[in-house]
Amino acid sequence: MSMRSITENEKWHRYFAKWITISVIVGVVCGLSALALLEAIRIITQLTLTGIAGYSPLLAGGEGGTSGLVLSTVRYFIPIVTALGGLAGGLLIYFFVPEAAGVGTDAAIRAFHREGGKIRSRVPALKLLTSAITIGTGGTSGREGPIAQIGAGAGSAIANLLRLDKRSLEIALAAGLGAGIASIFKAPLAGGIISAEIFYTRDFEVDPLIPGFVASVVGYSIFGYAIGWQPIFTTSVSPLEFRNPLSLPFYALLGVLCAIFTWLLIKVYYPTTNIFRRWKAPLYIKTAVGGLATGLIGIAIPSVLGTGYGWTQIAMRGLSQVAVTR
């Protein structure tokens, strides 16, 4: 065996020893963070949206969801709860962590490209708290954006604690972002791919791929062990069942429709965001107004409140199976 091949082997041994260790640590932190976010949302929902406004958001089948929708006679308190949630989250962001404003993924991508992978250590914890307040009080938001920034911040903090170089910081950030999403969605393979592809529109970040997969599997394993391995959305159809090739064109059409609606969402979301940015008012006033508007809509259309995962589950089962009580 030549000296050159030994050198190459040593290089790869050091690479795997370094990144397997870091990725496992990042995955553990991301898995626990996903559990903490889920539990914080549950507690705040019970205390506010359910306890004050009498509205219990529907859950996805894999999260203990049922087909019963409860609309109490005090549902007109919903705008109060959503406005107060917007105010509380806005105050925390305004005074303590301005970079936690927004959905989370944009901030993580910005940190990757412009900040050398550095995210302040306080960001993950405060992003978890503000996101739990927003979602728990009925704000229209998913969990993927917050956990992406939480995971990215965790990866960055761990790399910074280990005094890694700039490139390693970026890789750890990417691995944490993917691991966070993999944990909360129970999708380890998707998380690994996301850690490599989310940072560019027409390119692929190869270096975070292996760390991202390792961290995603570890995070998913911790999350799944704690709350169960079943998918978030349940269906009576086997995931391995495929009998009718004629259905494939309809799936293709579904993909086209999803792309169109995603494009429309972006065309509405960012102009609306810019309107609020131009409004010369403190952030917490804007978030309170946004929460109030969400709550007013939620009185008539409760599906806009929270993540909406339970309503997606209903759409999969069929609306005829929903029981409404007041």
Using alpha carbons, list the distances in angstroms from residue 313 to 27, 208, 236. 28, 33, 12
The reported pLDDT for the residue numbered 8 is 72
Length of the chain: 326
Using alpha carbons, list the distances in angstroms from residue 42 to 233, 269, 315. 18, 27, 22
For the chain, give every domain's residue range.
Answer: 3-232+279-325
Using alpha carbons, list the distances in angstroms from residue 38 to 135, 220, 285. 10, 14, 27
Q: What is the pLDDT of residues 82-123, one digit of tens each?
A: 999 999 999 999 999 898 887 888 888 888 888 888 899 899
Q: Residue 319: is its pLDDT beyond 60?
A: no
Full-model pTM: 0.88
Between the two ends of the chain, the Cα-to-Cα distance in Å is 77
Tokens, residue 177: 């972002």
3-class secondary structure, 263: helix
Is residue 166 a contact partner of residue 117, using CB atoms and an 8 Å limit? yes
What is the Cα–Cα distance from 243 to 252, expressed in whole angstroms?
17
Residue, of 244 and 319, whose pLDDT is higher: 244
3-232+279-325: CATH topology: Clc chloride channel (1.10.3080)
The reported pLDDT for the residue numbered 42 is 94
What is the Cα–Cα distance from 82 to 162, expressed in whole angstroms?
40
Query: What is the chain's mean pLDDT, rounded?
Result: 87
Q: What percent of the chain has pLDDT over 90?
A: 53
The reported pLDDT for the residue numbered 261 is 95
Q: What percent of the chain has pLDDT over 70?
A: 91
At residue 1 the predicted structure's pLDDT band, cuts being 50, 70 and 90, is very low
Residue, of 310 and 158, whose pLDDT is higher: 158
3-class secondary structure, 55: strand
Out of 25-29, 141-145, 306-310, the most confident range is: 25-29
Is residue 286 a contact partner of residue 207, using CB atoms and an 8 Å limit? no
Q: What is the pLDDT of residues 165-224, one digit of tens each?
A: 999 999 999 999 999 999 999 999 999 899 988 888 777 888 889 999 999 999 999 999
